[in-house]
């Protein structure tokens, strides 16, 4: 984090300093987790859903925190008031502090801020974009999937003063959420991937989701650039919400004769035998030079056709940030999945392949992952297993979406389905009813049962795909599967 003194933090947050604050004290990092403190840290005490950070102030100070951001005065073990900046709402104060830091970073040197939203693919796109930008200048991007009122400020707290590119992921679960985040970072480039059904329950309708995601382009300043997915009608409609002084760059993963000006697209998009996307990266527009118009052939390392969209989004955002298209094309093959559990492929020595996509799940990402699994099976003649947990947060659509997904598994000709957890039971029902399946589908209640079942039945050559909502911890099963004894275990049982 940039170095800040106590007065600056009070100024940024509109807070008041306790009498015990040493006016010369400076902080060089900030976090809400008392286990992540180091000397010179600012500990932010916030009330979370399950715990109250104010209970950890002593621990944070013992771990080196020099200053606290809190909603009330607290005392240390000796009865002395902890040195703190007192604010009304710590979470909001984090946003204000982050905004202040973004200002300082911008004042120091040229900085381009790129914000990414969408119902699916944000983290994948953010990781790809950050990897590209990091070759061009100091880049700050979120850890994992940090994308909310806490994650966005925490990302900014990690930024250095000389940050050239700041990449921010933005998630939302209600109208106004994205505006709260754009108020903090004020993006120069805003990327919208898709409008899907993620968090449909809290939004009430898909229209509300589109309304909220579009807030990201409304926030653009004069000269700002909206990067919009031409293949998603609800995203394309957001072009009308781009302020007059800003402009739009389009991307499309579908090959069609380009229909729009200023379009970065994938011509001849396909996948290799290992389901790595390959395509010709092209730019169509009256300002396009000949080489960009003809394009550059690329093959990515990421797995799954759906990454074509994410790579194009990242490429277009980098292009909007003035990186030449040929440079971008040369970087695409170097990009790997940096955040965990996103189509992570492990080829075990016994010939079994684990595809761990267990970071999270919703109907769109489930279909994308299952399609990739089906294609891999078809390309290689190997047997495919889908080990699926529930998709959470679907509200009233829960049963219907699970039944539909069960049908999809059958229609994709996945060889074996293992449904994990009672919340996912409708998935089992959907598959059974669609396919008159018998042995091809199993229903188990826990990760342990799933592991046991797989250990008994998998064989060398099988591909096991694991996916479910984050809250169900299916990634623990995926982790176990990468190392557990599977085939040998089975032989022992005979
Ligand atoms: N364009 C896409 N279409 C369909 N599925 C995708 C796409 N991109 C990624 N996925 C899949 O969706 C899941 C989530 O991907 P990712 O983490 O990139 O999305 P996200 O938008 O950041 O999600 P979250 O809102 O949970 O942070 C992964 O399983 C990934 O394989
Ligand atoms: Mg994410």
Encode pLDDT of 417-448 as tens digits: 999 999 999 999 999 998 777 788 999 999 99
Indicate if 261 and 117 belong to the same structural domain: yes
Q: Give pLDDT, residue 491.
A: 53
Residues 131 and 149 in one domain: yes
> Given 92, 123, 138, which residue is the final one in a domain?
92
Closest ligand to C-alpha of residue 173 is 1
- Is 354 within 8 Å of 481 (Cβ atoms)? yes
Secondary structure class of 347 (helix, strand, coil): strand
- Separation in Å, CA 271 to CA 46, 306, 376: 46, 10, 10
Does residue 113 sit in the same domain as residue 240?
Answer: yes
In a domain, 101, yes or no: no
Say if ligand 1 is within 6 A of residue 121 CB. Answer: yes
pLDDT, residue 173, reads: 85
Q: Please identify, by atom number, the ligand 1 atom nearest to the C-alpha of residue 118.
A: 21
| Residue 442 covered by a domain | yes
Alpha carbon nearest to ligand 1 atom 8, residue = 121
120 annotated ligand binder: yes
**Which ligand 1 atom is the nearest neighbour of the CA of 169?**
22
Q: Does residue 80 belong to any structural domain of this protein? A: yes
Q: What is the CATH number of the domain that holds 314?
A: 3.40.1190.10
Kindly report the protein residue whose alpha carbon is nearest to atom 9 of ligand 1: 121
Q: In this structure, are 361 and 283 located in the same domain?
A: no
Question: In terms of domains, do 133 and 270 share one?
Answer: yes
- Residue 475's domain spans which residues? 344-493
Domain boundary among 92, 118, 147: 92
Q: Which CATH number goes with the domain that contains 9?
A: 3.40.1390.10
The pLDDT value recorded for residue 339 is 83
Tell me what pLDDT residue 199 has.
66
Same domain for 247 and 374, yes or no, is no
Tell me, what's the pLDDT at 493? 47
Residue 175 shares a structural domain with residue 122: yes
Q: Please identify which residue in the block is written with the tokens 């480039």.
A: 189
Question: In sequence order, what are the residues at sequence separation of 6 or more whose Cβ sits closer than 8 angstroms to the Cβ of residue 185?
Answer: 98, 99, 102, 113, 115, 152, 156, 166, 168
| Within a domain: 102 | no
Residue 85 and residue 116 in one domain: no
pLDDT per residue, tens digit, the chain (494 aa), is 999 999 999 999 999 999 999 988 899 999 999 999 999 999 999 998 888 999 999 999 999 999 999 999 999 989 999 999 999 999 999 999 999 999 999 999 999 999 999 998 999 999 999 999 999 999 999 988 899 999 999 999 999 999 999 999 999 988 999 999 999 999 999 999 999 876 667 788 889 999 999 999 999 999 999 999 999 999 999 999 999 999 999 999 986 667 789 999 999 999 999 999 999 999 999 999 999 999 999 999 999 999 999 999 999 999 999 999 999 999 999 999 888 898 999 999 999 999 999 998 999 999 999 999 999 999 999 999 999 999 998 888 899 999 999 999 999 999 999 999 999 999 999 999 987 777 889 999 999 999 999 999 999 999 999 999 988 899 999 999 999 888 765 554 44
Does 98 reside within a domain? no
469 is in an annotated binding site: no
482 CA from centroid of ligand 1 (Å): 22
Residues facing 283 on adjacent strands:
264
Residue 473 shares a structural domain with residue 359: yes
Q: How many domains does the chain have?
A: 3
Q: Indicate which CATH number applies to the domain containing 426.
A: 3.90.190.20
Does 432 reside within a domain? yes
As a residue count, the chain comes to 494
Q: Is residue 67 part of a domain?
A: yes
Contact call for residues 194 and 235 (beta carbons, < 8 A): yes
Whether residues 413 and 349 share a domain: the answer is: yes
Q: State the pLDDT at residue 256.
A: 66
The atom number, within ligand 1, closest to the CA of 365 reads 5
H-run or E-run covering 326: helix 325-331
**Of 477, 449, 452, 448, residue with least CA distance to 465:** 477
CA 107 – ligand 2 centroid, Å: 29
pLDDT of residue 492: 47
For residue 339, being part of any structural domain is answered with no
C-beta 145 within 6 A of ligand 1: yes
Same domain, 206 and 240: yes
Q: Which of 334, 361, 383 is the last residue of a domain?
A: 334
Distance 444 CA to ligand 1 centre (A): 26
> Is 207 found in the same domain as 310?
yes
Q: Is 122 annotated as a binding residue?
A: yes
């Amino acid at each position: 984090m940039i170095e800040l003194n106590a007065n600056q933090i009070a100024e940024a947050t509109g807070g008041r300093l306790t009498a015990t604050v040493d006016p010369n004290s400076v902080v060089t990092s900030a976090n809400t987790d008392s286990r992540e403190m180091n000397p010179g840290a600012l500990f932010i005490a916030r009330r979370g859903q399950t715990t109250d950070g104010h209970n950890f102030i002593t621990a944070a100070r013992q771990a080196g925190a020099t200053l606290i951001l809190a909603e009330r005065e607290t005392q240390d073990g000796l009865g002395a008031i902890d040195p703190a900046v007192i604010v009304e709402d710590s979470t909001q104060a984090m946003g204000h502090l982050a905004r202040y830091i973004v200002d300082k970073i911008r004042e120091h040197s040229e900085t381009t801020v790129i914000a990414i939203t969408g119902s699916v693919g944000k983290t994948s796109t953010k990781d790809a974009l950050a990897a590209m930008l990091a070759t061009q200048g100091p880049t700050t991007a979120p850890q994992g999937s940090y994308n909310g009122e806490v994650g966005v400020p925490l990302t900014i707290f990690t930024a250095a003063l000389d940050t050239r590119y700041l990449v921010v992921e933005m998630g939302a679960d209600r109208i106004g959420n994205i505006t709260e985040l754009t108020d903090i970072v004020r993006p120069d480039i805003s990327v919208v991937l898709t409008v899907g059904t993620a968090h449909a329950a809290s939004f009430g309708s898909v229209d509300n989701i589109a309304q909220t995601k579009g807030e990201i382009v409304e926030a653009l300043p004069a000269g700002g650039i909206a990067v919009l997915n031409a293949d998603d009608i609800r995203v394309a409609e957001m072009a009308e919400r781009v302020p007059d002084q800003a402009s739009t760059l389009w991307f499309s993963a579908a090959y069609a004769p380009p229909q729009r000006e200023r379009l970065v697209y994938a011509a001849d998009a396909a996948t290799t035998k290992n389901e790595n996307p390959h395509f010709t990266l092209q730019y169509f527009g009256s300002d396009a030079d000949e080489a960009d118009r003809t394009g550059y052939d690329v093959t990515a390392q990421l797995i799954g056709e759906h990454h074509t969209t994410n790579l194009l989004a990242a490429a277009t955002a980098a292009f909007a940030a003035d990186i030449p298209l040929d440079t971008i094309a040369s970087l695409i093959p170097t990009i790997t999945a940096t955040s965990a559990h996103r189509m992570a492929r492990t080829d075990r020595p016994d010939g079994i392949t684990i595809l761990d996509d267990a970071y999270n799940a919703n109907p769109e990402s489930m279909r994308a992952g299952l399609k990739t699994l089906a294609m891999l099976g078809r390309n290689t003649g190997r047997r495919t297993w889908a080990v699926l947990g529930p998709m959470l947060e679907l509200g009233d659509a829960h049963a219907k979406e699970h039944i539909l997904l069960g049908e999809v598994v059958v229609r994709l000709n996945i060889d074996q389905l293992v449904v994990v957890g009672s919340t996912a039971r409708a998935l089992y029902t959907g598959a059974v009813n669609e396919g008159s399946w018998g042995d091809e589908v199993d229903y188990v209640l826990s990760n342990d049962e799933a592991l046991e079942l797989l250990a008994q039945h998998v064989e060398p050559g099988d591909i096991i795909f694991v996916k479910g909502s984050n809250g169900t911890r299916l990634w623990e099963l995926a982790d176990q599967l990468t190392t557990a004894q599977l085939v040998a275990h089975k032989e022992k049982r005979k």
